[in-house]
């Protein structure tokens, strides 16, 4: 009986030790997790007052009572919706880089000369028309499906890294070259009123509509006549490449700069 009592007491001590040890481990893990989440705030400047005022409406918790912006606040880095600042008289979108989960950016009709979206890698739709941009780098934005950058001052455009892009509208710029790459999902290109002299879309096999009117008269447009469905081109350049006539002869919808159907034609070699 004495041995049984002693053994029972010993078992109780062991059990208590195990429970205490377990509690210590759990407490340590909880504290470690707490330390990881307790990230010190990073304060960053938003130089444009109008952009800052807008951000206060969508991520108010990211601002301190004394108006400081916390760029690593969870509401900022997890913001995966749309930022729409059209026509807000904004000169700079500095600070947009902290919204790394952003999926759509509308910033048309402002006074933007620079637009850095290299950190916005989740961006799917970009609308930045009616600004003063001279350069647009979208090489880091592989998820983009729509780009509207019309009415700016761009001289070239490279979308060769944007293999998910389905629609491009870059009209009313000063673009001399567009690097389209081998995008196989691009369906629509609108590039009238530029300075293009060569536009080869023969490798863009999903393309169904192309508008390239009001570019230099000597421009050469090379298409895949078996894929394209609708083409807008200046009448005086319809014979600049044989693929245009083949497209018309095979029943393609060919329109001029006045959106009038171009009748069957012949080309003198």
Q: What is the pLDDT of residues 108-159, one digit of tens each?
A: 999 999 999 999 999 999 999 999 999 999 999 999 999 999 999 999 999 9
Check whether 240 has a pLDDT greater than 80.
yes
> pLDDT per residue over 56-112, tens digit each?
999 999 999 999 999 999 999 999 999 999 999 999 999 999 999 999 999 999 999
Task: Choose among 79, 107, 71: nearest CA to 92.
Answer: 107
d(CA 137, CA 219): 25
Who contacts 206 (Cβ-Cβ below 8 Å, separation ≥6)?
Answer: 183, 184, 185, 186, 187, 227
Q: What is the pLDDT of residue 268?
A: 83
d(Cα 23, Cα 127) in Å, to the nearest integer?
55
Q: What is the percentage of the chain residues whose pLDDT exceeds 90?
A: 84
Confidence of residue 39 (pLDDT cuts 50, 70, 90): confident
Q: What's the CA gap between 210 and 178, in Å, rounded?
A: 13
């Amino acid at each position: 009986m004495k041995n049984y009592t002693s053994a029972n007491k010993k078992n109780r001590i062991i059990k208590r030790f195990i429970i205490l040890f377990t509690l210590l481990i759990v407490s340590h893990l909880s504290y470690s997790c707490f330390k990881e989440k307790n990230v010190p705030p990073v304060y960053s400047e938003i130089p444009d007052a109008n952009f800052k005022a807008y951000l206060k409406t969508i991520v108010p918790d990211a601002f301190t009572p004394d108006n400081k912006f916390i760029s690593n606040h969870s509401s900022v880095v997890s913001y995966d919706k749309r930022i729409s600042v059209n026509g807000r008289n904004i000169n700079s979108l500095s600070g947009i880089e902290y919204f790394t989960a952003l999926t759509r950016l509308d910033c048309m009709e402002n006074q933007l000369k620079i637009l850095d979206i290299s950190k916005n890698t989740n961006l799917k739709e970009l609308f930045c028309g009616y600004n003063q941009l001279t350069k647009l780098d979208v090489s880091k934005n592989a998820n983009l499906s729509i780009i509207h950058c019309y009415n700016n001052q761009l001289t070239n455009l490279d979308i060769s890294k944007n293999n998910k892009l389905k629609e491009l509208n870059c009209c009313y710029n000063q673009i001399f070259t567009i690097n389209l790459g081998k995008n196989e999902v691009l369906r629509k290109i609108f590039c009238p009123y530029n300075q293009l002299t060569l536009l080869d879309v023969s490798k863009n096999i999903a393309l169904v509509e192309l508008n390239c009117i009001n570019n230099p008269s000597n421009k050469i447009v090379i298409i895949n006549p078996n894929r394209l469905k609708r083409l807008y081109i200046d009448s005086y350049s319809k014979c600049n490449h044989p693929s245009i006539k083949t497209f018309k002869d095979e029943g393609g919808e060919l329109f001029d700069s006045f959106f009038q159907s171009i009748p069957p034609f012949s080309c003198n070699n």
